[in-house]
Amino acid sequence: MRILFLTQWFDPEPMFKGLAFARELVRRGHEVEVLTGFPNYPGGRVYPGYRIRLRQREVLDGIRITRVALFPSHDRSAVGRAANYLSFALSAATVGVASVRGADVAYVYHPPATIALPAIVLKLFRWVPYVLDIQDLWPDSLRASGMVRGRLVLAAMAAWCRAAYRMASRIAVQSPGFKRALAARGVADGKVEVVYNWCDESVIARAPRDEELARSLGMAGRFNVMFAGTMGKAQALEEVLQAAALLGPAAPEVQFVFVGGGVETESLKARAAGMALGNVLFLPRCPPSEIGPILSQADVLLVHLRDDPLYEITIPSKTQAYMALGRPILMAVKGDAAALVEASHSGVTCVPGDGKSIAAAVEALLRTGPADLRRMGNNAAAFYERELSMAVGAAKIERLLAGAAGRPCEGVVAATDEERR
């Protein structure tokens, strides 16, 4: 098939369904072209070597890329974010649609929901059906993040999303909860398939603990519970500090390690200092290519999101990375993410935003012992390979693309079974 990959973000921006996924589609025998914007995420500044212009073509790993103009922004301003999303949608729907070659089907990465504008234009004017891959449920996530509060704006966005769902030939969603949510909004069950996300398998790989690296990081001789990633409002990590305070006298060997950055990082550091927490360590954000060895120094990897109905149907992307690494998981997220940990026997769950529950879960893991912790980690890695890997997910998306294009897709299931083995 000739596949148009439509996404606002693409390499060199960090995106797990970016160039590696495009290469996987090419490996499976398809011709892929990408329509995207100029790289500016996550800092909101255009990357060195690029400048905003009406259109730019380039080739990455043999894949043709067409970039179109956008307003670069990724700050906390709703106006800036809206300008960023809308400017790309308009450029892609006009200059972009006129610039790309013919395609049998489009793969459309959502968010933002505005990405549906060029997808719909492609379908109406160039007769290209599209598969919508929904990673973020709008307008729910806008409400939950506090980015948008106006009822009229949220209602208008909900109506736009319903139109995008109707126009899509097939829809991929990241969790069973997303599928239930779309069914409640009138989307036919047969149109939607759950395709669990995978991680960047080129940088995330199982590795033994490195004592020298652990010492250099300040993690040697401790039972390290690590959170890695964005520290923002949605992660609500204040109660994790409360768990650290509760465990300080009861389990002095436990250390909570926070790796990364975000709008709440400095506030968390100040709060930890004010609470005189000697069992909390903050490490700076590092490039994705360097995070694997750091994560491998953890005894337990923590996933935490604010207790919100939206997050009950969301599987945070770090879940897949943690499983691929083969480390026990402490899942402080309700719903589908907790169900994955329970089904895979890869860790324990606790109540998000509840310091006592988090502390009790850490104590339980501490008492579990090395052999059972290794078993949990092995279970996590095996589950990832069987259910969540790129080979498994790409085969499912390939079938959706073939169905949307009206093309046979023989051999995909057999290939997937072979890759699983």
- Domains and their CATH numbers in the chain: 2-198+389-420 (3.40.50.2000), 211-386 (3.40.50.2000)
Residue 316: pLDDT over 50: yes
- Residues for the chain: how many in total? 421
Per-residue pLDDT, averaged over 267-290, amounts to 91
Q: Are 254 and 225 in contact (CB under 8 A)?
A: yes
Q: 10 Å Cβ neighbour count for 73?
A: 19
Region 335-363: what's the mean pLDDT? 96
181 touches 313 (CB < 8 A): yes
Identity (one letter) of the amino acid at 47?
Y
For a pLDDT cut of 90, what percent of the chain falls above it?
Answer: 77
- pLDDT for residue 263 is more than 90: no
Least confident of 60-64, 114-118, 359-363, 408-412: 408-412
Identify the pLDDT of residue 410.
54
Please tell me which residue, 73 or 34, carries the higher pLDDT value.
34
| pLDDT score recorded for residue 409 | 64
Please measure the distance between the N-terminal and C-terminal CA atoms of the chain and give it in whole angstroms: 26
Whether 324 contacts 205, CB under 8 Å: yes
Element (H, E) at 227: strand 223-228
The pLDDT score that the predictor gives to residue 280 is 95
Q: What integer pLDDT is reported at residue 278 of this predicted model?
A: 93
Rounded average pLDDT over 211-238: 92
Sheet harboring 130-134: ordered strands across?
Answer: 55-60, 63-68, 31-37, 2-6, 105-110, 130-134, 170-173, 192-194
Higher pLDDT, 412 or 341: 341
As a whole number of Å, the CA-based R_g of the chain is 22
> Which pLDDT band, with edges at 50, 70 and 90, does 168 fall under?
very high
pTM for this model (two decimals):
0.86
Q: Could you tell me which residues are beta bridge partners of residue 55?
A: 68
Percent of the chain with pLDDT over 70: 96
The mean per-residue pLDDT over the stretch 276-282 comes to 95
pLDDT at 421 over 50: no
| Mode of pairing for the β-strands spanning 223-228 and 192-194 | unpaired
Comparing C-alpha atoms, which of 321, 346, 318, 351 is closest to residue 333?
351
Q: Which two tokens stand for residue 344?
A: 């895979």
In the predicted model, is pLDDT for residue 42 greater than 90? no
Digit-coded pLDDT (tens) for 48-102: 999 999 999 999 999 999 999 999 987 767 788 889 999 999 999 999 999 999 9
Structure tokens at 30: 């398809």
Q: How confident is the model at residue 337 (pLDDT cuts 50, 70, 90)?
A: very high
Confidence band (pLDDT; 50, 70, 90) for 415?
very low
